[in-house]
Amino acid sequence: MSILVLLEPELVRTTAVGASTEYVERVRTVHAARPGPGADGEPGDTTLCGMATGRMRRDPYRAPGADAPWYPPEWSTRVCPYCDRSLRT
């Protein structure tokens, strides 16, 4: 089964000085999704946990083997527990 790794973004305020506020985009959660119906490699409309994929960014990671996690190791603390559970069952 082909799984796509999607990164759910969040804006985090970094500074607020006077009327000026700066934000950076960070990763809130790492989700899994099945490919959409086309052959273009885009995800379907929802993740395995049911979230809309429209605002999410695709991560190019592919598990290097059957024993490897479906998500990139650097995002291990941000994995969606529902997507993870769905893939493990």
Q: Measure the CA dihedral 52/56/61/65, to 10°.
A: -20
Position 67 pLDDT exceeds 90:
no
Domain membership of residue 70 (yes or no) is: no
Domain membership of residue 89 (yes or no) is: no
Quote the radius of gyration of the chain (alpha carbons, Å): 15
pTM > 0.95: no
Number of structural domains the chain divides into: 1
Domain membership of residue 77 (yes or no) is: no
**20-33 sheet: strands from edge to edge:** 20-33, 4-17, 57-59
- Give the model confidence (pLDDT) of 12-38 as tens digits: 888 777 777 888 889 999 999 999 987
Domain membership of residue 27 (yes or no) is: yes
Domain around 14: 1-62
